[in-house]
């Protein structure tokens, strides 16, 4: 009697478990997977994967006028870059230098005088294989999804290892409080504080507003072309294909995203 009761009980619970497993699996297949995901507006879900975009710049040095500094003033004004008179405190995001300084490893022997006397813009190369991001101990200097090498000033501890790693000298250190040397401050971008490094950010702050970098916009001669190097139909790629270009210190393998037409 007792045994039989137990037997029926086990039988029935077994059947019950099977029934609910069946019901659950039926429910799982009935509900489409998409309905369980969070709703996203179609316009917002285009997440850019790293490596799909590589922003770069092409500088046509033939068009660049020697006495014109419009790009430099526009950039430094847009980003509250301090203007220290002493060269040791100097902070720059973009500057003009000589051929020898910008291309120190290129051949200078019997070089055309016109080329050596021209001035060349130098700014952060936003290298694809950037040494500065590899050495940064806090991850403050990092490579973004669109190829821009950016600095998170909140994270920077001012160790200056990135400055030592950068083969182009594109990074500056704030030895003094930069706020004392900003003559025309803009409210559109924050300043930095004493003890952090800073450099060109390819105007990532302006790109989110659908604006071109400040230097590109300020140039009256259209010296600079800005665009995605991974997109074969972009203006920069078309110009790269139709012109002979050079990079700075290409032998180092940093793969700079800045190209020059000499």
Partner 1 sequence: MKIKNIVILFVALALGLSASLYVFLQNGSAEKITRISSTHSQHPVSVDSTKCIAKKEFMHANHMQVLREWQQAPVTAGDRIYIAPNGSKFMKSLDTCLGCHKNNRLFCFNCHVYANVKPTCWNCHLSPSETP
Q: Which residues bind partner 1 (CB under 8 A)?
A: 5, 8-9, 12-13, 15-17, 19-21, 23-24, 27-28, 36, 38, 40, 43-48, 53, 142, 144-146, 150, 152-154, 187, 190-193, 204, 207-210
Q: Which is nearer to partner 1, 135 or 252 (CB)?
A: 135
- For residue 121, the SS3 value is strand
Backbone angles phi, psi at 151, to 5 degrees: -120, 125
CB of 207 to partner 1, least distance (A): 4
CB of 27 to partner 1, least distance (A): 7
Q: Which is nearer to partner 1, 15 or 238 (CB)?
A: 15
Task: Give the integer Cα–Cα distance in Å for 215 and 200.
Answer: 11
User: Which regions of the chain does DSSP assign to beta strands (E)?
Assistant: 55-60, 94-97, 120-123, 141-143, 149-151, 172-173, 197-198, 224-228, 258-261
CB of 99 to partner 1, least distance (A): 33
Task: Give the integer Cα–Cα distance in Å for 52 and 32.
Answer: 30
CB of 10 to partner 1, least distance (A): 11
For the chain, the first-to-last Cα distance in angstroms comes to 101
CB of 105 to partner 1, least distance (A): 33
Q: How many helices (H) and strands (E) does the chain have?
A: 9, 9
Q: Which is nearer to partner 1, 74 or 182 (CB)?
A: 182
β-partners of residue 74 are: none
Q: Which is nearer to partner 1, 98 or 191 (CB)?
A: 191
Q: Which is nearer to partner 1, 168 or 226 (CB)?
A: 226
């Amino acid at each position: 009697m007792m045994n039989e009761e137990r037997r029926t009980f086990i039988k029935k619970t077994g059947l019950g478990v099977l029934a609910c497993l069946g019901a659950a699996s039926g429910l799982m297949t009935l509900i489409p997977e998409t309905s369980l995901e969070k709703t996203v507006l179609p316009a917002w879900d285009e997440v850019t994967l790293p490596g799909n975009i590589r922003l770069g710049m092409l500088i046509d040095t033939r068009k660049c006028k020697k006495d014109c500094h419009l790009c430099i003033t526009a950039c430094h004004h847009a980003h509250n870059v301090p203007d220290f008179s002493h060269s040791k405190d100097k902070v720059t995001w973009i500057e003009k230098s000589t051929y020898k300084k910008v291309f120190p490893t290129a051949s200078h022997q019997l070089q055309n005088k016109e080329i050596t006397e021209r001035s060349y813009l130098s700014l952060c190369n936003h290298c694809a294989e950037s040494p500065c991001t590899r050495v940064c101990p806090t991850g403050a200097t990092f490579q973004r999804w669109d190829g821009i090498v950016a600095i998170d000033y909140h994270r920077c501890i001012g160790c200056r290892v990135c400055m030592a790693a950068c083969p182009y000298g594109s990074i500056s250190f704030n030895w003094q409080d930069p706020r004392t040397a900003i003559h025309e401050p803009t409210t559109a971008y924050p300043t930095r504080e004493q003890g952090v490094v800073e450099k060109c950010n390819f105007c990532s702050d302006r790109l989110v507003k659908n604006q071109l970098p400040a230097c590109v916009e300020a140039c009256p001669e259209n010296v600079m072309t800005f665009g995605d190097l991974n997109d074969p139909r972009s203006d920069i790629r078309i110009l790269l294909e139709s012109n002979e270009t050079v990079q700075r210190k290409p032998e180092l393998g940093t793969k700079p995203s800045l190209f020059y037409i000499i």
